[in-house]
Amino acid sequence: MKVNINDIARQAGVSIATVSRALNGHGLVKEETRQKILKIAHELNYTPNPIARGLSTQKTETLGIILPELVDEFFMDLIHGIDEEAYRQGYYILLSSSHSQRNIVETSLEFMTSGRVDGVILMAPKMRHELMDLVAKSKRPIVLLNCIANIKGIASFNIDNLGGAFAITQHLVDHGYKKIALITGPEGNCDAEERLKGFKKALEQNNIALNEDFIIPGDFTIKSGYYGFNRLFTQRNKPEAVFAANDMMALGIYQAAKTMGLKIPEDIAVVGFDDIRLSHYIHPRLTTIHVPIQELGSRAVRYLIKMIRQEVDPQATYHEKLSTGLIIGGSCGCQVAQLNTII
- Please give the CATH topology (third level) of the domain spanning 62-160+293-323: Rossmann fold (3.40.50)
| Pick from 221, 235, 173: nearest CA to 199 | 173
161-291: which CATH topology?
Answer: Rossmann fold (3.40.50)
What is the pTM for the complete model shown?
0.79
Query: Per-residue pLDDT for 128 more than 90?
Result: no
pLDDT over 60 at 180, yes or no: yes
For the segment 53-66, the average pLDDT, to the nearest whole number, is 71
Residue scoring higher pLDDT (58 or 284): 284
pLDDT at residue 340 greater than cutoff 50:
no
With a cut of 50, say whether residue 227 has pLDDT above it: yes
CB 138 within 8 A of CB 105: no
pLDDT, residue 343, reads: 39
Residue 341 has pLDDT above 60, yes or no: no
Report which of residues 314 and 261 the model is more confident about. Answer: 261
Per-residue pLDDT of 5-17, as tens digits, reads: 888 888 889 888 7
What does the pLDDT look like over 269-291, one tens digit per residue?
999 999 999 898 899 999 999 99
Angle between helices 16-23 and 5-12 (to 10 degrees): 110
pLDDT at residue 78 greater than cutoff 50: yes
Same fold flag, 62-160+293-323 and 161-291? yes
pLDDT per residue as tens digits for the range 241-255? 999 999 999 999 999
Q: Which residue ranges make up each domain of the chain?
A: 5-57, 62-160+293-323, 161-291
Local structure of 192: helix, strand or coil? helix
The answer to whether residue 52 scores a pLDDT higher than 70 is no
CA distance 307 to 301: 10
Coil/strand/helix, residue 197: helix
- pLDDT computed for residue 271 by the predictor: 98
Position 337 pLDDT exceeds 60: no
CATH topology of domain 5-57: 434 Repressor (Amino-terminal Domain) (1.10.260)
Mean of pLDDT over the chain? 86
| Mean pLDDT lowest among 69-83, 196-210, 244-258 | 69-83
pLDDT (0 to 100) of residue 148? 67
99: pLDDT strictly greater than 80:
no
Q: 278 with 251: CB under 8 angstroms?
A: yes
Ranking 20-24, 173-177, 193-197 by mean pLDDT, the lowest is 20-24
Nearest to 240 by CA among 304, 331, 150, 126: 331
